[in-house]
A = this chain, B = another copy of it.
């Protein structure tokens, strides 16, 4: 099978079975199978790949079980599957050629809760590889990212070099829940040079961005106020009103002062109190999301939100529980690696345009891995692999030009091998 067909087939297989964050059970097993076929020297699954205590936004057991059972019915590799039980998805694979530099590649593997289009004009539909998990879809190209990871590891493994090459198949990027846990895992400390990659991002096939930067740091909180329920007509004074507490909190959260050091953001969603109107609410929930142009700005906002929540609860004699369900920091690409990727990109025929740096609109938790490497004295860059898209990311008709797959593997493997030489 020609190399390009291998990549296309891999991508289409993963496209057909999208799994959301911390529920990538089958995906994890299938990656392991492929790594075994390629002949990776080390394959670490679940708790051996990520620090499970640092996972953010892990769903409840019922939800995890449902997806675990689905995966079980689709594979006979229960030996691998069992390692992932309880939301312990993700893989780290190593090609080990002894002493020498250590290069890493991060590939995120989770999907989105989007219902994929079944229109004839949508290639995955017309070509027969549309999502089989109704309501879920690889609508941000992580199927390609898995393919980049496996394809690059295969190419590197088939080459000669000294040192180690590690691929981080990271779960739960969409929830900003997996990057922190993987960066806290046991494998990042070894890495001297880290590459990340993202397909698409409005760049056409043939364009490569050597360094993506500027993602706003983000923190997302789950908030639950608990009060006490009484009849609103008979004894309003005896209640402890969770709706009033929530309202006081939201009211003041939007009023957190702007910051001299740069842009900040705040928003509240998923607001809910189910009390009947003749009853004082004893329970009210919401999610709060803050962003900052830097990690420090995000933390300023997050700490201010905590203060608003706590004092709003006190004000109305309620209690409040908060948990971080997703978080990302700000990290930018290192100049030296951007130079290297640019120069290698210019030497690849299928790459018609190399952009040195571009701004990433959305938040990304590859930044945790970048930070870990950079703080160890290493370098990191987050590379954009152009892929002409019919429609934007996170839409039901998102698709990528599969010509981008071998281009991505070329730039990533050439860069890795150059660093390993």
Contact = CB atoms under 8 A, between A and B. Distances in A.
A181 interface: no
A236 interface: yes
Contact of A267 (B270, B271, B277, B362): B277
Copies of this chain held together in the complex: 4
A289 B268 contact: no
Contacts of A363: 233
Contacts of A284: 271
A278 B269 contact: yes
Interface size class of A (residues with CB under 8 A): 35 or more
Contact of A233 (B216, B274, B311): B216
A100 interface: no
Interface string A351-369: 0000000000111000000
A158 to B, nearest CB: 41
Interface string A252-268: 10110111110111111
Contacts of A289: 232, 277-278
A311 B315 contact: yes
A391 to B, nearest CB: 16
Contacts of A235: 260
Contacts of A275: 269-270
A198 to B, nearest CB: 17
A239 B218 CA distance: 19
Interface in A304-336: 307-308, 310-312, 314-317
A252 to B, nearest CB: 6
A320 to B, nearest CB: 12
A284 B216 CA distance: 27
21 contacts: A216-B233, A232-B267, A233-B361, A233-B363, A236-B260, A246-B271, A247-B250, A248-B248, A248-B251, A251-B251, A254-B257, A258-B263, A268-B277, A269-B278, A269-B279, A269-B281, A270-B277, A272-B273, A277-B287, A277-B288, A307-B317
